[in-house]
Amino acid sequence: MTEYDYWKIFPRMPRKVTIGDITVRDGFQHLEKFISTRAKIFYLEELIFAGCRNIEVTNLGNPYLMPQFADAEDLFRHLRSDRFKQRCQRKGVNYDELVLTAITIREPAVDRAIRLKEEGIGPDRVLMMVSTEEEHHFANSGTTLPAYWKEAERCIRKCHDAGIKMCGTVSTIWGSPIGGATKLEDAVEFTRRWLEIGADDIEHADHDGSASSPEVYRYFSMIMDAIPHPEVHIAHFHETKRVASASVLAALQAGISHFEATLGGLGGQPANFLDDCPVKGTGEYYYEDPRYVGLVCLEDLLVQVDEMGIEHGYDVDRILWLGRQMEKTVGQRLRSEAVINGRTLKEGHPKFARPGLKPLKEKFGEQPGQKLPADWAPTAVLPEKYR
């Protein structure tokens, strides 16, 4: 007999997940228009009030390269303010549970995070990033992998001394948009290296939508065999082929319980044009059509795990409302299907029922709820060839 209990088939699959939001950082970095500081604060606040506890606030790198983040310190100053803490208290949010993250790809950004921490407005956590494919790593960081590893080791020590956690990201796990195919084994080893030099957690990133569900299951199974501590591992999937939900399911089945997403599936390579001016970003876009890049949609991911019966801590309806507001903010239709079609309603949509079923059943002498002819046996008997 087939075993129908999902958690018995996949015993590593969690019953509770953490879903971090990175809309205001990764989501907005790809937009070619500046999102106002007021709007950024609005979405940061509302995401937290809707249940997000792990949130990326901004990028502390050089705003000349990414002017979308010229207001980085203003965002942190607001989130560390007494006013916002009081609002959290009124909303029933335990402020001490929040983890505010900033991206700090290079050491000057790490130093900036430490300075802000000393001022009382800095992040709880920062992130540095390596790619297993060195051309992609060089495009992101401007230096070699060996040199970067030494820099990261030094930065981790500095962060820990300042009371800041460090996330080590491993990218190009399933392939590089520059160098092509990569080896999963390299990413497992890079994960070990991050932990060896003191990283507090690891983001496992598919930064260009290269992942397929069988390879996602294979990789995260390798990770969980090598480092069986799900609290350390974070899955980060981009969506370029509309298959990221399958990758999420594969990661869940392998035992991963922490994911990242953005409202509307926003995100991607940093913009090289902002408002009316070309900007440096990270150079030429990797994709022929930059509209079709971004992360897995927070709205759709929440509907997916919610309908699987997995605990997540969000107000799903509030997030769907926020997704609709985000489409107004960016001025275009985004990639969430759930903001249009909503959740699967157990009670259905009675307003769409055609009139006349009840009198027709009465005319035929059928009972309410009767679905088979009265003279049929209660259980079907299959033909011999199908038994």
Question: Does residue 315 lie within any of the structural domains?
Answer: yes
147-190 per-position pLDDT tens digit: 999 999 999 999 999 999 999 999 999 999 889 999 999 999 99
- Does residue 373 share a domain with residue 256? no
- Does residue 195 share a domain with residue 243? yes
Average pLDDT, the chain: 95
- Does residue 375 share a domain with residue 319? no
- Does residue 188 share a domain with residue 94? yes
Partners of 125 in the β-ladder: 101, 165
- Does residue 369 share a domain with residue 284? no
Average pLDDT over residues 220-224: 98
- Does residue 371 share a domain with residue 272? no
CB neighbours (10 Å) of residue 232? 16
Question: Does residue 65 lie within any of the structural domains?
Answer: yes
Question: Does residue 66 lie within any of the structural domains?
Answer: yes
pLDDT higher than threshold 50 for residue 200: yes
314-367 per-position pLDDT tens digit: 999 999 999 999 999 999 999 999 999 888 888 888 888 899 999 999 999 999
257-289 per-position pLDDT tens digit: 999 999 999 998 889 999 999 998 888 887 777
What's 143's domain CATH number? 3.20.20.70
The pLDDT assigned to 2 comes to 57
- Does residue 379 share a domain with residue 267? no
- Does residue 312 share a domain with residue 243? yes
Alpha-carbon separation of residue 168 from 203, 268, 311, 379, 386 (angstroms): 6, 19, 26, 57, 54
Domain that holds residue 112: 14-341
- Does residue 214 share a domain with residue 178? yes
- Does residue 89 share a domain with residue 27? yes
- Does residue 147 share a domain with residue 103? yes
Q: CA 359, CA 211: separation in Å to the nearest integer?
A: 54
Question: Does residue 256 lie within any of the structural domains?
Answer: yes
pLDDT higher than threshold 70 for residue 1: no
Q: CA 45, CA 311: separation in Å to the nearest integer?
A: 22
Question: Does residue 204 lie within any of the structural domains?
Answer: yes
365-376 per-position pLDDT tens digit: 999 999 999 999
| Domain total of the chain | 2
Question: Does residue 224 lie within any of the structural domains?
Answer: yes
Question: Does residue 123 lie within any of the structural domains?
Answer: yes
Q: CA 265, CA 250: separation in Å to the nearest integer?
A: 19
- Does residue 376 share a domain with residue 237? no
| Pair 138, 179: CB distance under 8 Å | no
Average pLDDT over residues 95-111: 97
Question: Does residue 9 lie within any of the structural domains?
Answer: no
The pLDDT assigned to 343 comes to 85
Phi and psi at 103, nearest 5°, equal -85, 135
